[in-house]
Amino acid sequence: MLGNVWEGLDRGSKGQISTFSSFISTVSQKKEATENRGSPTHLVFPNIKNVRDLPPVCLDVRQKQRVSTDALSSEMKAPLLPEPVLPIQPKTMKDFQEDVEKVKSSGDWKAVYDFYLTTFDSFPELNAAFKKDATTSFNTIEDSGINAKFVNAVYDALLNTPQDIQKTVLKGIINSLLREWKGPRSKDDLRAYFILLQNPQFNNTSTYVIYAHLLRQIATLVEADHHFLVHWFKKLSQKRFKQLVERLLQFISLRLFPAKPEEFPPITKCSWWIPSASKVLALLNTANSLAHPPLIPYTDFYNSTLDHIDLMEEYHTWQSFGNSHRFSFCQYPFVISIAAKKIIIQRDSEQQMISIARQSLVDKVSRRQRPDMNMLFLNMKVRRTHLVSDSLDELTRKRADLKKKLKVTFVGEAGLDMGGLTKEWFLLLIRQIFHPDYGMFTYHKDSHCHWFSSFKCDNYSEFRLVGILMGLAVYNSITLDIRFPPCCYKKLLSPPIVPSDQNTPVGICSITTEDLCQIMPELAHGLSELLAYEGNVEEDFFSTFQVFQEEFGIIKSYNLKPGGDKIPVTNQNRKEYVQLYIDFLLNKSIYKQFAAFYYGFHSVCASNALMLLRPEEVEILVCGSPELDMHALQRSTQYDGYAKTDLTIRYFWDVVLGFPLDLQKKLLHFTTGSDRVPVGGMADLNFKISKNETSTNWLPVAHTCFNQLCLPPYKSKKDLKQKLIIGISNSEGFGLE
């Protein structure tokens, strides 16, 4: 059987998958023969014909446990098998590099060929070549025991070798993958998988059949083995780690949308390819989460190809089957882009809106009442002079309608809400609620963000209103100019689904000094200094487990633990003190305020789709992305009274594209009410420049509710730049028309 595969390798040319077409059937026959002998095998799970039945390697998104493997103890329960005696590998990295250099002058590849032939012949040979010390077991998660520089040198040289050497390596890998496995894997086996996964040959679609089987064997390892691999992955260099991720994403994309379908086996025979690759990606995602700082941004795991599949089918499959029985990309939300997640949330929201509106219509008809189109919307009627109280009353009375499409009317004003009045209502309400005089939120100048006031009150309904506003903004695709720190969104997803038991705490999450630093950097620095202090903490600081806060001019004391006012902070207990202090500031002291905010948000956004989101992604959905692309804005801008070739417009874009980032943000804030970009990009702003037939001595005017800039026909670039900078730099408190 293997002879057929090897003959195919010998005959096939580079880039043709047909050379490996018999590989799948070969492995299947090998597996059946093994099973018939009754030998236990760990090559694949039972019932491997439907790999979609495999339990997911990644975290259970339904429980929002993002780094499940980290919970395992360092002393793994998996048995430590005796490591086999490794073959002797005399070649060092220096020897190998010298052999490669000699080829340049002699043209003789024999020494290099022999090295690759021997090294990739089996798992023991791989360990013999790349293990730092053949006599040491290296059974720890902290050190894979692999000479990473040697591995990199061998792989970097491989793609520049003749085809017969590259085919020899692939033959050796096939031989290793077809080995009959009996019992658990040894750490040397894990090292071999770790090394093979980094093979750059797997960038070529002609190797995908072999790559898929390697991925399946890694995906079906036991959790204890995955634990080791995760910690070894996080020790890779950023470059090598990123290459692994990109290779897997490309593998999934090309299996979904092959350029040449005939290159691959029929999808019915390799339905396990994508699930296996997704499971291995989950290991890399976990490794990235455990690394501090992460090796690559979480957005590098996004697979934009998934934006073009039926996302709602994936979502409904996940809703119906969860994390078992049937594969869905929603089991691995880290690969779904924020744009794709927004589509899922919006369509899920629309379906809920339609369902509720339809039920309202049916109820009306069943009572023989005339249907009114207004019943299909969440209609808000508010007075500008009583904006907060009227909004709170309306939302309280119409809580059953929160998932309907929002329409706003200002009492005493004519006008049909085509989106502008809704946006104006959001803008005015947010500005009023977050004003320092209102007392609900404290603005921290050092971090440029708002945080919940810890002042006690009898009614926390206005915090619920802010949560509802954020939920409505997500539901109605409105970008809000809100400055909450990242930990706010972490708390908002704790848990992502409202608990059925009302006594279950909500909005409580694990908090660190990093979270505090995002709100109160000076205090966080002071606590870090306390932790690093080398003197006698008790004698030099005279602190106890008691903290003080000012509330309405009165200093109040709070014990961080029972009897805290009598417990001194010492070198031994200072870590506990810091953790309790941070927990008090960000969790306990504002619990009622945040709980009201949490319930308000989830009263609108009660959707399982929230479980697909990271806290950073919730922030982007609510507030937009901070990444500006002014060239994209230029391409999507509409004009009224101007043409894009007019001199004034050309001056405008010359000036704006030359602005530093802070002025570009000011322009965006001046014209739209926010300096952030919607998830869909600049095109979703529907930005418009209108001609303002006034004196060129006038400054530009913005209609923020319509994302519209009214620009006088300035005669020179210098005049336009001067007037524009004055306008956008002095607009705070103005601009709503």
Helical segments of 107-183, H only: 110-119, 123-130, 148-158, 163-177
Handedness of CA 475, 479, 484, 489 (dihedral sign): positive
CA distance 513 to 520: 10
- The SS3 assignment for 571 reads coil
pLDDT, position 34: 40
Confidence label for 362 from pLDDT (cuts 50, 70 and 90): confident
User: Between these two residues, 13 and 190, which has the higher pLDDT value?
Assistant: 190
- The SS3 assignment for 253 reads helix
pLDDT, position 684: 83
Confidence label for 279 from pLDDT (cuts 50, 70 and 90): very high
- The phi, psi pair for 638, rounded to 5°, reads -100, 155
All residues at 6 or more sequence positions from 101 whose CB lies less than 8 Å from its CB, including other chains: none
Structure tokens at 116: 């690759």
Confidence label for 672 from pLDDT (cuts 50, 70 and 90): confident
- The phi, psi pair for 711, rounded to 5°, reads -115, 120
pLDDT, position 89: 63
Confidence label for 377 from pLDDT (cuts 50, 70 and 90): confident
Taking CA atoms, 132 is separated from 135, 137, 232, in Å, by 9, 10, 15
pLDDT, position 610: 86
pLDDT, position 607: 80
Taking CA atoms, 645 is separated from 649, 668, 721, in Å, by 7, 22, 18
Find out whether the peptide bond into 333 is cis, omega within 30 degrees of 0: no
pLDDT, position 53: 33
Amino acid at 140: T
- Rounded to two decimals, the pTM is 0.81
Find out whether the peptide bond into 495 is cis, omega within 30 degrees of 0: yes
Structure tokens at 322: 């969860």
All residues at 6 or more sequence positions from 315 whose CB lies less than 8 Å from its CB, including other chains: 328, 330, 344, 348, 609
The residue with tokens 């060929």 is 113
What is the C-alpha radius of gyration for the chain, rounded to an integer number of angstroms?
A: 31
Confidence label for 415 from pLDDT (cuts 50, 70 and 90): low
Least confident span in 45-54, 299-308, 486-495, 715-724: 45-54
Angle at Cα 214 formed by Cα 213 and Cα 217, nearest 5°? 85
Provide the CB-side half-sphere exposure for 226 (13 A, CA): 28
Tell whether the model's pLDDT for residue 60 goes beyond 60.
no
Q: DSSP characters for 422-450?
A: HHHHHHHHHHHHTSGGG-SEEEETTTTEE
User: What are the tens digits of pLDDT across the range 179-195?
Assistant: 867 778 889 999 999 99
Q: Are 729 and 664 in contact (CB under 8 A)?
A: no
Tell whether the model's pLDDT for residue 524 goes beyond 90.
yes
CA distance 41 to 37: 11
Q: Are 617 and 341 in contact (CB under 8 A)?
A: yes
Confidence label for 16 from pLDDT (cuts 50, 70 and 90): very low
Phi-psi region of 89 (alpha: psi -120 to 50; beta: other; left: phi over 0): beta
- The SS3 assignment for 379 reads strand
DSSP 693: -
Q: Are 582 and 511 in contact (CB under 8 A)?
A: yes
- The SS3 assignment for 337 reads coil
Active site residues: 705
Q: Which domains does the chain have, with CATH numbers?
A: 93-332 (no CATH), 346-493 (3.90.1750.10), 625-730 (3.30.2410.10)
